[in-house]
Each structure stands twice: as C-alpha cells, then as structure tokens.
Amino acid sequence: MDSHAYRHRHLLGIEGLTPEDINHVLDLADTYVEMNRQAEKKKSLLRGRTLINCFFENSTRTRTSFEVAGKRLGADVINMAVAVSSMRKGETLIDTAMTLNAMHPDVLVVRHPESGAVQLLSEKVDCAVINAGDGSHEHPTQALLDALTIRRRKGKLGGLTVAICGDVLHSRVARSNIWLLNAMGARVRVVAPRTLLPAQVEHLGVEVFHDMAEGLADVDIVMMLRLQSERMHGSFVPSTREYFHFFGLDEDKLKFAKADALIMHPGPMNRGVEIGSTVADDIDRSLIRQQVEMGVAVRMACLELLTRELGNGPPIK
Ligand code: NCD
C-alpha cells in the first residue's frame, strides 16, 4: 500500500486530515467524475456491502448524492429518515446506533442537528461512519466536493483567495471548508455581519471582513452560504431585503472580485436573500451545478476508501 493512502476508519471531519489524505480522495474522485459521465456507470466494488443513510435532519441533495454514489458502486443502500420530533438526545441516539449496528451495515452515513453527535455514534458501532453534517460543526464531504470543483476549474487550491460569505455562524460547510482550504494552502476570508460570525472566528485561520466591497476585493472564489433561519433563535438580521442589499451576491458586488472569479453555493439557495439569480445562473462563472456533480464522485471515492480500509488493522481515527 502506498504511504499516502487514506488510513482513517471514519470520515467525521476535515480537521485532522492531512493534505495527502485530501489529495488522495480528490485524485480518486477525479476518476469517478469520468465514469459518471459514461452511459455505463455501475461498478461492483461494493457488491454485498450495506450502506445505511441515517438522516436525523432533512436533506435532499446530500442524501440523494450518497444514495447514487453507493448504488453506482454496487452497494445495497437503505434510507432511514429519522424524524427529528421523534428523537430525544443522548440515549435515543445510542439506541439507534446499537439497533443499526446489529444489522451489520458496512457504512453508516449520518446527519444530525447536534454538533458532535456523529462522532458519538461512531464510537458505538463497528462499521465506518461518514459525517453528512452535524449541527454547525462539520460537513466534510461538502468541503471535499467544493475542493474538487475548484481544483478542476482552477488547476490548484494553494495560493487562491477564497471568500466565504454569509451565515458562517451556523454553517458546518464553512467550518469544513476553512479547515480544508487552510490545509491546502489557500487564503481564506469570511465576509459577514458581526451577528453571523462565531466568536473569535479569526482563530480558525481566516481574515475577517464585514463589508462585501472589501471582503471580495481580488478574490478568486466567492462562496456564498445559505441564511440558515432554521438554526436561528431570535433575530440575526433586520430583514432579508436589507440582508440582500448589504450581503447578497449580485452583479454589482461581484465586480469587486477578480474578473475571472467563480461563484459557489452548497445549496439549497435562497434566491434574493444571499444570492441573486443573475449570478447564480451565470453559466460561465457559477459552479453550483458542477458542485452537485462533484458531490457524487467525491462520495464514491470516500465510500471506496473507507470500505477498503475496514479490517486492515486497528482504526487510526
Ligand atoms: C448544507 C448543509 O446541510 O449543511 N447543504 C448541503 O449539504 N448541501 C448547507 C445548507 O443547508 O445551507
């Protein structure tokens, strides 16, 4: 086995991954992008393996993306939608983990509204666990698919300047991207009103801006975040109209970025809140559809690497 092989048992976050780990996933994902564009898309690599999608929070694209990825590799995929209302914290989560574990799955893909819940669950089961988003903590496959999207278009990650704009406070996408982009040598900025930034966000290794004109100046990538109203208790912005006026990406604000700057958004988009339709649908500069395509390829790569490592000695993480 080559020394740069991905050697983690689970994928719980980008924190803790090395640049070699990240490149390993991205290189493998590149091969799946090509396969996914062909008529024949099915491999039998995971034949006989069982993947359970266990989503304690609503999701369309991430759950579908993992389902497509698992099926293209030949796994049996089971979708378990766990209604948040029927769930109590702690004991119930462990009970669910033990129940699923007894069915001998090979991979559990878990999304949960509480930060840290996926890690807790991973400690109770015998199979590989992929974090599909835990609270406002991490969403590692999103950062990996964003990285693959950027790398394919710009040819590199190192040396680029990326502005992550909007609701950073509630965003696991932002946290995973900050870890990944810093690890790969990109410069990361966050641009948001003070109410939507975590305390001491600069300790994550980012430059902080509260104004789009300054924050977008000369950036290569503008990454917009959804205003996550469902995580807000109280008022974080005066009104969505005012928010769009100051922080929504439109053609005028995009002019502050480099002339060839690209636009990203993890979806789902709130058009007219954090992003205007003209820029979201700009076929030359918006990478939003490519992000969805890369998502399937990245998840196939993760599934391959995590099932390959199973049984190969003690878990590293
Ligand atoms: C993100 C999420 O759920 O964290 N969406 C996604 O996975 N594509 C971002 C969001 O919900 O705004």
From 62, 84, 112, 287, give the residue whose CB has the most ligand 1 atoms within 8 Å, as the site to mutate: 62
Alpha-carbon span 14 to 111, nearest angstrom: 16
SS (H, E, C) 149-166: HHHHHHCCCCCCEEEEEC
How far away, in angstroms, is 230 Cα from ligand 1 center? 12
Give the residues surrounding ligand 1 with Cβ less than 6 Å away. 61-62, 133, 139, 142, 172-173, 226, 228, 266-267
Work out the angle between the directed axes of helices 140-154 and 172-183 (0-180°, nearest 10): 50
User: Lowest mean pLDDT: which of 1-10, 81-90, 130-139?
Assistant: 81-90
163: which strand partners?
189, 222
- Res 175 pLDDT > 50: yes
Tell me what pLDDT residue 313 has. Answer: 46
Q: Is 205 helix (H, G, I), strand (E, B) or coil?
A: coil
Tell me what pLDDT residue 14 has. Answer: 98
Mean pLDDT, residues 112-137 taken together: 96
Closest C-alpha among 31, 14, 3 to residue 130? 14
User: Lowest mean pLDDT: which of 55-64, 190-199, 247-256, 261-270?
Assistant: 55-64
Residue 219 has a CB neighbour count (10 Å cut-off) of: 23
In this structure, the residue with its CA closest to atom 7 of ligand 1 is: 62
Mean pLDDT, residues 111-135 taken together: 96
Which residues participate in catalysis according to the annotation? Answer: 61-62, 89, 111, 139
Ligand 1 atom closest to Cα of 132? 7
The pair of structure tokens assigned to 34 is 């090509």
Alpha-carbon span 23 to 298, nearest angstrom: 11
Q: Is 91 helix (H, G, I), strand (E, B) or coil?
A: helix
pLDDT band at 91 (very low <50, low <70, confident <90, very high): low
pLDDT band at 310 (very low <50, low <70, confident <90, very high): very low
> Residue 138: CB partners within 8 Å, gap ≥ 6?
12, 13, 14, 15, 131, 172, 175, 176, 179
Tell me what pLDDT residue 7 has. Answer: 86
pLDDT band at 237 (very low <50, low <70, confident <90, very high): confident
Alpha-carbon span 27 to 67, nearest angstrom: 21
Alpha-carbon span 177 to 232, nearest angstrom: 21
> Residue 225: CB partners within 8 Å, gap ≥ 6?
164, 165, 166, 167, 168, 171, 173, 174, 265, 266, 274
How far away, in angstroms, is 247 Cα from ligand 1 center? 19
pLDDT band at 81 (very low <50, low <70, confident <90, very high): confident
Quote the pTM value.
0.94
